[in-house]
Structure 1
Amino acid sequence: MHILSCRTFRKTGVALLAAFAVLPALPLRAQGVTGYTFTDELPTDASALPAAPQKPWLHRRSAKKTVPSAGGASLPAVLLPQVQALQAQVDALTLKLKQVNQTAPSLAEMKQQVADLNIQLAGRDSALAEMKQQLADRDGMVADLKQQLAGRDSTLAEMERQVADRSTGATTLKQQVTDLKQQLATEKEARAEQTEELLALKRMTADVPLDTPEQKQAYASGVAFADMVTRSLQMQKSLGTEQPVDTVLAGITDAMKHRFRLNSEQIKTLNGKLYARLEARMKEQQAKAAQEKAAQEKAGADWYARYRKQAGVKELRPGVLYRVIRPGKGAPLKADNTVDLLLTGALSDGYLFDDSGLKGRVQRLKPEDILPALTDVLTTQRAGCHVEVLLSPSQAFGDEGVPGMIPGGATLKFDIQVQKKQPH
């Protein structure tokens, strides 16, 4: 059986009956059975078919019986099942058509939906482009943050190194304080001994008149000789050999009187051993001083190179670096101006050889009275300035240093605050 598509039946339900025209070999096409031919239009319901014409000759000849229809008309019994089946199909297709019409969107609605989807797609494309731009911006921010983090890591490493240096400097400072205390105690002992020696000399020369120029000259020569002996004894003591002053004076007195308690060979041997011992100790101290000087020079060179790279540092000339922490006001300072300033001096290991500025002790002086390099820096500044100056050994105290305060070959840093300039 051939059944047309649903689209054929959308316009009218009557067209469904056209399916009868394509049914092969249906008895409905036979003229005279129901009064319709294949060119006639069938009603939509089989019950609406007209009654067959009265042709008794056919009924007489046919042994088949007809089944009356619901409307009183009758169809041949052989056609009724087919008509009922077709009617059921028509009803099913009609119901399906209604459902399709109710659920399926029209072409215009579908076009509208497509347009709406295109708009949404365009909006999403725009949003995607914006998100990509935001992602690119965030990538740039991440790169900047990474660079900042790398810079902070470098700064942190430098600070950690400075902390380590200061810790080492603090340890060295403690040792230097201990050494200075020991030196102070030694100097006190030496002064006490010198006082005792002077008292002894006074006792020895109490009755000697100093009236004539010759007497005074002789006395002055004796003082010079005693000073030389005293310095020799101090040097021997610094090298680890301490001589009793009374015994030394006894030897001098006996020598002056040509009255010796030891023979010349004994005196020569003892003095030879003393000189050898003193020379060995002196070489040891010189070697130690050379090592300290080399260490100071290396530490100072590294310090100078690092300080030179800091922001705001200027080089006045080779060996002289300075950084202006706070500029002053007014006219530039002159070398002969009298100024009040705070000055703090430090070595490369952090040891403060001059802490007066740190303690707030004001010094009144002229720039020309201090190191020439410091004078040259201060004359570029004004009253009220705060500068930091770094001097290489050649611009400070060189290879000799300052005994007991500044080692040879030391690089020095000065923190100077010029509080005010005194009027002329």
Structure 2
Amino acid sequence: MRYPLLVAAVALACIGCSSPSAPVGAAELKTEEDKTLYALGSAIGRNLSSFDLTEAELEFVKAGIADAALHKEPKLDASTYFPRIQELQNARVAAAGEKEKKAGEEYLAKAATESGAQKTASGLVYKQVSEGTGASPKATDTVKVHYHGTLTNGKVFDSSVERKEPATFPLNGVIPCWTEGVQLMKVGGKARFVCPPDIAYGDRGAPPDIKPGSTLVFEVELLGIEQPQQ
């Protein structure tokens, strides 16, 4: 769940503090209220993930939060920094996107050289793991699949396999990489997709797990093609 108004207020309080507050020891989550407050902090942190903060920078953020939340005398007029908040975020997002794109291009180039891999005109690197014996779906079909999605560093961002529950969706309602890749499969088959950002989530990404410019990797098993209801 998002807390945009709260996050905006926190961000205004955080930018430009002159020195960090004394560090607080590791929190012990003993009560349900402790856990709820920790969840609040987690929500704020996830919404600030696009700033790509270092640990040192996070100390300034903590200081701003503490001063604002505890009604302490602010170290500066935070409202004067409002224009810089968006500028900082935009700059950090752009820098992170370029870094992700470069890493993705290197990963795609290597993946395309693997035995059995084919690179399509869209940039998708497709590799059949095992061939199915059923039909191939059309873009207008609804399919049932198992999938395991990771970033190029191996971090899992979504997995029906881990949830132990297959997913069903219309092929023309997902990212272009999937629309194209699944049509290359046959029911019962397994394949690996390496998706460049242009046919995945592009320069916008899908924060906080998928950064702008990310290349995505999917292990896909096509379980079936759903028959339209009469």
Structure 2 letter corresponding to 1:335: A
The answer to whether residue 186 in structure 2 is matched with residue 351 in structure 1 is: no
1:287: which partner in 2?
Answer: 91
1:387-406 equivalence runs, <5 A: 387-406=191-210
Q: Tell me, yes or no, if the aligned pair for 1:239 and 1:282 is still in contact at 8 Å.
A: no
- Hey, what's the Cα distance between the residues in 1 that align with 2:114 and 2:170? 29
1:82-101 equivalence runs, <5 A: none
The answer to whether residue 117 in structure 2 is matched with residue 313 in structure 1 is: yes
User: Identity of counterpart residues, as a percentage?
Assistant: 23
2:7: which partner in 1?
Answer: 234
Aligned-pair distance for 1:238?
Answer: 4.0
Structure 1 letter corresponding to 2:172: E
The answer to whether residue 109 in structure 2 is matched with residue 324 in structure 1 is: no
Q: Tell me, yes or no, if the aligned pair for 1:316 and 1:377 is still in contact at 8 Å.
A: no
Of residues 161, 177, 182, the one that matches 1:378 is: 182
Tell me the alpha carbon deviations over residues 281-327 of structure 1, each in whole angstroms, 9 at most, x when there is no partner: 33333332222212211110110111010000011214211001011
Tell me the alpha carbon deviations over residues 367-407 of structure 1, each in whole angstroms, 9 at most, x when there is no partner: 22211221122112211111111111111111111122211
Q: Tell me, yes or no, if the aligned pair for 1:343 and 1:358 is still in contact at 8 Å.
A: no
Q: Tell me, yes or no, if the aligned pair for 2:97 and 2:203 is still in contact at 8 Å.
A: yes
Aligned-pair distance for 1:240?
Answer: 4.3
Q: What value does the CA root-mean-square deviation take over the aligned residues?
A: 2.5
Which structure is higher in strand share? 2
Runs of 4 or more consecutive aligned structure 1 residues displaced over 6 Å after TM superposition: none
After superposition, the Cα gap between the structure-2 partners of 1:358 and 1:311, relative to the gap in structure 1 and judged at 3 Å, is farther
2:57: which partner in 1?
Answer: none
Q: Tell me, yes or no, if the aligned pair for 2:140 and 2:172 is still in contact at 8 Å.
A: yes
After superposition, the Cα gap between the structure-2 partners of 1:289 and 1:239, relative to the gap in structure 1 and judged at 3 Å, is farther
Tell me the alpha carbon deviations over residues 171-209 of structure 1, each in whole angstroms, 9 at most, x when there is no partner: xxxxxxxxxxxxx7xx5xx4xxxxxxxxxxxxxxxxxxx
Q: Tell me, yes or no, if the aligned pair for 2:185 and 2:222 is still in contact at 8 Å.
A: no
Q: Tell me, yes or no, if the aligned pair for 1:319 and 1:391 is still in contact at 8 Å.
A: yes
- Hey, what's the Cα distance between the residues in 1 that align with 2:171 and 2:122? 20
After superposition, the Cα gap between the structure-2 partners of 1:376 and 1:241, relative to the gap in structure 1 and judged at 3 Å, is same
Which structure is higher in helix share? 1
Unaligned runs of 5+ residues in structure 2 are 16-75
Structure 2 letter corresponding to 1:235: A
Structure 2 letter corresponding to 1:376: E
The DSSP-based 3-state class of the residue aligned with 1:302 is helix
The DSSP-based 3-state class of the residue aligned with 2:153 is coil
- Hey, what's the Cα distance between the residues in 1 that align with 2:12 and 2:89? 8
After superposition, the Cα gap between the structure-2 partners of 1:328 and 1:239, relative to the gap in structure 1 and judged at 3 Å, is farther
Structure 1 letter corresponding to 2:207: P
Aligned-pair distance for 1:331?
Answer: 2.4
Bigger CA radius of gyration? 1
Q: Tell me, yes or no, if the aligned pair for 2:144 and 2:224 is still in contact at 8 Å.
A: yes
Of residues 82, 102, 117, the one that matches 1:298 is: 102
2:19: which partner in 1?
Answer: none
The DSSP-based 3-state class of the residue aligned with 1:415 is strand
- Hey, what's the Cα distance between the residues in 2 that align with 1:341 and 1:318? 22
Aligned-pair distance for 1:273?
Answer: 4.1
Structure 1 letter corresponding to 2:141: N
The answer to whether residue 163 in structure 2 is matched with residue 342 in structure 1 is: no
The DSSP-based 3-state class of the residue aligned with 2:161 is coil
Structure 1 letter corresponding to 2:86: M
TM-score, normalised relative to structure 2: 0.65
**Number of aligned residue pairs:** 169
1:241-256 equivalence runs, <5 A: 241=14
2:137: which partner in 1?
Answer: 333
Aligned-pair distance for 1:239?
Answer: 4.9
- Hey, what's the Cα distance between the residues in 2 that align with 1:324 and 1:382? 10
Q: Tell me, yes or no, if the aligned pair for 2:11 and 2:85 is still in contact at 8 Å.
A: no
The answer to whether residue 174 in structure 2 is matched with residue 366 in structure 1 is: no
1:9-408 equivalence runs, <5 A: 187=2, 190=3, 231-241=4-14, 273-408=77-212
Unaligned runs of 5+ residues in structure 1 are 1-183, 191-230, 243-271
- Hey, what's the Cα distance between the residues in 2 that align with 1:395 and 1:372? 5
Structure 2 letter corresponding to 1:323: K
The DSSP-based 3-state class of the residue aligned with 1:383 is coil
Structure 2 letter corresponding to 1:333: P
- Hey, what's the Cα distance between the residues in 2 that align with 1:240 and 1:418? 49
- Hey, what's the Cα distance between the residues in 2 that align with 1:386 and 1:342? 9
After superposition, the Cα gap between the structure-2 partners of 1:325 and 1:240, relative to the gap in structure 1 and judged at 3 Å, is farther
